[in-house]
Homo-oligomer: A and B are copies of this chain.
Amino acid sequence: MIKAGIIGGAGYTGLELIRLLLMHPEVEISVVTSRRYKGKLISDVNPHLEPFIELEYEDVDTKEIADRADIVFLAVPHGSAMDYVPQLRARGARVIDLSADYRLKKDEYERIYKRQHKDKDKERRKSVYGLTELHPEVADADLIANPGCYPTGAILAVAPLVKGNEGGGRVKQVVFDSKSGISGAGAEPSAKSHFPNLAENIVPYEVTAHRHVAEMRMELGVKVSFTPHVIPSIRGILTTAHVFIEENEAITQDEIEEIYKRFYEGKRFIRLRKGLPSLSSVRGTNFCDIGFKIEEESDRIVVISAIDNLVKGGSGQAIQNMNLMFGMDERKGLWFPGLVP
């Protein structure tokens, strides 16, 4: 059994790791930390986990965590993960960081997140950007920078058009208009998550300057804009990608289908849809559902992707990466249908 540690086990990312790892046949959760709930039974704080986990939240030394776990998931805020990585790696633990700390180049990170990167060996560590379908090299990595929730849905939506052999070169510009469930904003109550503010509403925010756009640009290499909104749902991100292709590059529905099929061949968590996807089919799962439609007499293609922000957009993808790191089938512990209705 693989022993897994979770640093930051009381937020939504940490809880989702617990929920999913509990169903994983090859993993045993060995240590979960939380300063706030130190000493409390995890299942007392989170009654839905009773009686599946008997551990208490701990607040232990990073070195000890490294010793008690084969793999450590960092479910801590941006800026905090880089405090743990050096020691964890020094003691030989493999690490999957769900924060932004190892996703971007140092310069870019410091510019976007407006803080210095404290890990002197940041570049040397060769962290792999853990968008599993695009980065098979996660299998050989010791340190994974798990992607942001928005970038996961956005990049997967258009990668075949932008990066595929047949699609590449045609795309001029992409505008991602994303709609996210509120769980992406975390477990801490705020004005944004206050029910009377969100119910019967949809709230645009950081419409031209959300930090996640940096990951999209890094991975796609074309002109990218991004505008997020919060919708009155708990889970899920639906991304509407408005893709503009070179005017003279006419393309048919069939050609695009072919491009996507080839690009995602063998990728078990990508489901290409005949129609347009929506959030319900991916609820609670690691799938990314994709559908598209070409606008007639136009340079625009609309590609829609749907993910569960906490699973494929976070903890599920982290486990998918872990599976590959440990030589297992990527589906292990993640292969079940969504909660419909």
Contact = CB atoms under 8 A, between A and B. Distances in A.
Nearest to A18: B337
A300 interface: yes
Interface residues of A, number: 79
Contact of A201 (B227, B280, B298): B280
Contacts of A279: 200-202
Contacts of A197: 280, 341
A48 interface: yes
B179 A232 contact: no
Interface in A276-314: 276-284, 289, 293-296, 298, 300, 302, 304, 310
Nearest to A292: B207
A298 to B, nearest CB: 6
A22 interface: yes
A231 B238 CA distance: 11
Interface string A258-271: 00000000000001
Given A198-B195, A209-B295, A300-B225, A19 B337 contact: yes
Interface string A47-65: 1111110000000000000
A182 interface: yes
Contacts of A179: 179, 202, 229, 231
Contacts of A278: 201-204
Contacts of A187: 194, 196, 341
22 contacts: A15-B340, A47-B281, A175-B242, A179-B179, A179-B202, A179-B229, A183-B341, A194-B194, A195-B195, A195-B234, A196-B341, A200-B233, A200-B279, A201-B236, A202-B231, A202-B238, A204-B238, A208-B293, A208-B294, A208-B298, A208-B302, A283-B339
